[in-house]
Structure 1
Amino acid sequence: MIRYFCLLILLILVLGGCRGGDEQTEKFTKEDMGIVRIDNGQKVYYGMNRADAEEVLGTGQEHARGVFEYDSGIAVFYRDDAVVAIRMEEESKGHYQTTRGAEIGMEIGEIKKRYGEYDPSPSDDILEYFYDNKKGKFLEKSPPKTESPDIFIFSSMFDDGYADTLLFMDSYYASYGK
């Protein structure tokens, strides 16, 4: 009897462990729309206010209306003083990674391990994810132009098979640039 009980407990632990690995890619939170400084673990993510973001990034230089560039290849767009888009470029390698551990220089398969197989993009040079934050699910295709910020977008661009740009934004910024 004790042997069966132990086997049952072991089976529950094994099945629970298998299920847990998929949960990370099933949801896409505001913090998943962010970056982490490798040296100290500080985060910048969607919705964070500018003052808090600049405590991590330093003082940015305004490049275009609402877009600020920071040291180490990071650019952030603010709407109403809140982060709504983050771009990582080649200079960020070794300094920043996404909150799920993706970074510049990774191959497409490594990024899919962190974000899942939801990519509806038709190109081998771009990997895109669209997440409906209200419905709590990934979308099978690119959403239409919208004024709603409820769709989160993660886009990776590749050069010779390696990520050279990682970009987080909401659908309103993607549609209107603001």
Structure 2
Amino acid sequence: PDGQRSVDKLQAELKKALECGRSIFDWTYKLLDGTEMPVEANLVRVKHGNEYLLAGYTRDLREQTELINEINHRDNMLSAINKASLLLLNDLNQDAFEDNIHKSMGLIAKAVDVERMYIFKNNTGEDGELYCNQLFEWSEGASSQQGTQFTRDIKYFFRTRAPSLAPLEVYQQSADRLADIQGKLSGNC
């Protein structure tokens, strides 16, 4: 993954361990099923009689790598939301609002790696049923669906709605999740 040939990197790390007494480096194994397994490899020079041997061991970093990826993903989303908020709140010009909505949607869509993003508005139809209508669409490299039959008067199929969370509850859940991730990162050696 770092661009070096495996045999060249391993030879360099073996030489370093023999010369310096120790070498610690990142390595990626490819398992038989094709799954990549990131590890921390440790090589230690050990005196054995009149000679030196190298002892080596690895530490599986899959869980740590997954947690770091989750944190980076979360940071990217929060950064996009922060930028979108600034874009929407700092320009009070009504004429620029729709353009800023589209820019904000693009920032968030790219952060979560999707090619489309929509904003819908709920309304109650004349029949008393709950419907939604598309207000805004952001799409990159895809044709727009704005204003089509698929984006107007969409009837809800489910009678129950997910419970809404107050902003403080969302923040607390995020803080709890972050504390859990940080605990996992610092707890295991």
Q: TM-score range by the shorter chain?
A: under 0.3
TM-score (norm 1): 0.26
Task: Give the number of the structure with larger relative contact order, counting CA–CA contacts within 8 Å between residues 6 or more apart.
Answer: 1
More helix, by proportion: 2
TM-score, normalized by length of structure 2?
0.25
Q: Larger Rg: 1 or 2?
A: 2
